[in-house]
Structure 1
């Protein structure tokens, strides 16, 4: 027996309140009624102000979540220890990241906490490092009610080429780039952005090696969005410190090309007298250390290592000294900046100047660089 209309309405309210939002078609299927019937129910409830209807979805008042494919809702509960800097009750923030693993896990967490602390909701889209998927995810998020976007686009070099930024500029909503940038002259350079100053982190690593007495230093870096920044910081520090740049030029290799990386480092140690190396990422460093040792290169005795990212560096057999980006702080700062832009738009006041924010990573000392961990 089908439930009475009042019972069905109560069940609709229960499900939408529990999940934040649902597609009308999905809700109809779950309740075992036709889409036409369910749309009538939603229209009746929306007329009473008990739910909102938006782009084929039914939404609980005060919070909207996306229901598009490959999109996942992040809960709005906050665990932030700092007090809220304002109120954004009911605001919906869309966030697009290439992955939720490793680096981006903490970035998303920081953004979620910052939004939740001000009474808003963060909704997540994942592109899977597929460039064309960024725009698709943005469409889902905005259709679901997102009022602004935090975006880490799938730009392979970390910056847009060939018009990759255009979809961002066409959205017409406040947008903050996260861990990405655009070069001067590119239209996306006018967007707000928050990222780690990876060049500074590389320079800190080189400086630490130099302080330990190393003069011939190299680097093995992954191809990807951060390689250019890390390489620039490495080069600048080597030149500034007067180190032997010619003997330790960095090598940028495809992720997973471990054999070539090992061959490069073995040759650097035996033929060029290199005694220290910066390796991005710490996952790569964990793979390289036993392979180097199998070739007779001991870490840190023959080659001191510093890894970059500090995701799993402490878990290595030889615990890795690592450059640690301020991941959660990046997400938090980006979210707060976007909330500021939305507040400015809502109040109609003149917006503050756009911001390019760079947060500094820190060096965490462990065994692989050959230095004792400092006392605290």
Structure 2
């Protein structure tokens, strides 16, 4: 089987960590790849802060400890269960992999394809593969899945960190460590931006088929209350165009009528793909973005690639993966908290950013508040 780039990066990092300093040509020879490939890998890892590069040589970053002395997670195997390895979760996985590599740990991935009934078996597969702790983003689509397929997580025999998933307050799952994006804050950023541009209360167009979509919906209601606004009309139900063309057309027509009637001049749309397809269909109906409708997408995966680059809320996906992996390594290496007390569990909430482009009629380039961590 052909070696993946991630596996090759792991081997490269291990070589540099062992030697302290190495030339790119030497790394290419040891890895069995061309100098061009080795150079590209080094540039990618240096850009992530995993290596230092100077004049054809690479070295282990000083801030990561002395080479050969062992990293905090040296030799650990971390498991990661994700509902998908593409779109949103690709960045989460990348952040976790980078953090694991910095710590000297190996990350093993399994994907559930949003089948929550298979989460437990796939996680047990990670344990069988040697995982000493797990990062878990269950394949839940709604609260009913969390209730039906969630309790087993609290019974795992190894440390576990929830990724981009919240637990019912007071439930056994609520006692686990977790790292999430604060989607409510992201929605508030979007609404404040649109209202600051002089628009009336923005509409929400959103799916209802994922924890992120439900969090965006809840955040919309909360943001309206924070801003002292009333909901202009119920949330417009969005669905994937390819899965339900009629449902997608109903959503577009509802937004079209709201714009043409003067009810709305701004909207927040979850997610990027739906937003791009909605903008395309609205254009066919004679509604232009941003001239007739100011629009913000939620997720910022492909929003910048639309014909009219879309302003978007960007959850800190990569940082979610990184913080979660670092927390898991800490749990596996803490060896008991001070004074003999068990270390307190942590709920970390990371703040999204607003990336302003052309779809609101505002000047591009503004970035909202950073994705700093806060405890909740």
**TM-score normalised to structure 1 length:** 0.75
Equivalent positions of 1:134-173 (< 5 A) are: 134-157=119-142, 161-173=146-158
Runs of 4+ in 1 over 4 A off after TM superposition: 345-349
Aligned to 1:282: 272
> Any idea what the Cα deviations from partners look like across 1:88-145, whole Å, max 9, x if unmatched?
1100000000111011111111101111111110000011111122111111110111
Name the residue aligned to 1:241. 227
CA RMSD of aligned residues (A): 2.4
Q: How many aligned residue pairs are there?
A: 302
What corresponds to 2:57 in structure 1?
A: none
What's the counterpart of residue 53 of structure 2? none
Mapped to 2, the partners of 1:198 and 1:151 lie a distance apart of 19
Q: Which has a greater percent of helix?
A: 2
Secondary structure of the 1:261 match is helix
Q: 1:304 to 1:347 in 2, by over 3 A?
A: closer
- The whole-number CA distance in structure 2 between the counterparts of 1:162 and 1:273 is 38
Moved more, 80-89 or 180-189: 80-89
The residue aligned with 1:360 is 351
Q: In structure 1, which of residues 258, 262, 273 is the aligned counterpart of residue 252 of structure 2?
A: 262
Q: Is the 8 A contact 1:158 1:181 kept in 2?
A: no
Report the Cα distance in structure 2 between the residues aligned to 1:347 and 1:237, rounded to whole angstroms: 39
- SS of 1:239's equivalent in the other structure is helix
Q: Is the alpha carbon distance of 1:359 and 1:184 closer, same or farther for their aligned partners in structure 2, counting shifts above 3 Å?
A: same
Q: Does 1:107 align with 2:107?
A: no
Q: Distance in 2 between matches of 1:108 and 1:159?
A: 26
Q: Which has the larger radius of gyration?
A: 1
- TM-score, L = length of structure 2: 0.75
Higher alpha-carbon deviation: 94-103 or 80-89: 80-89
For 1:239 and 1:218, locate their aligned partners in 2 and report how far apart those are by CA, in whole Å. Answer: 14
Question: Secondary structure of 2:334's match?
Answer: helix
User: 1:1-376 maps to which residues of 2 (within 5 A)?
Assistant: 80-81=48-49, 83-84=63-64, 87-157=72-142, 161-223=146-208, 224-243=210-229, 245-256=230-241, 257-271=247-261, 273-345=263-335, 350-374=341-365
**Per-residue deviation, 1:293:** 1.3
* Alpha-carbon shift at residue 159 of structure 1 (Å): 7.7
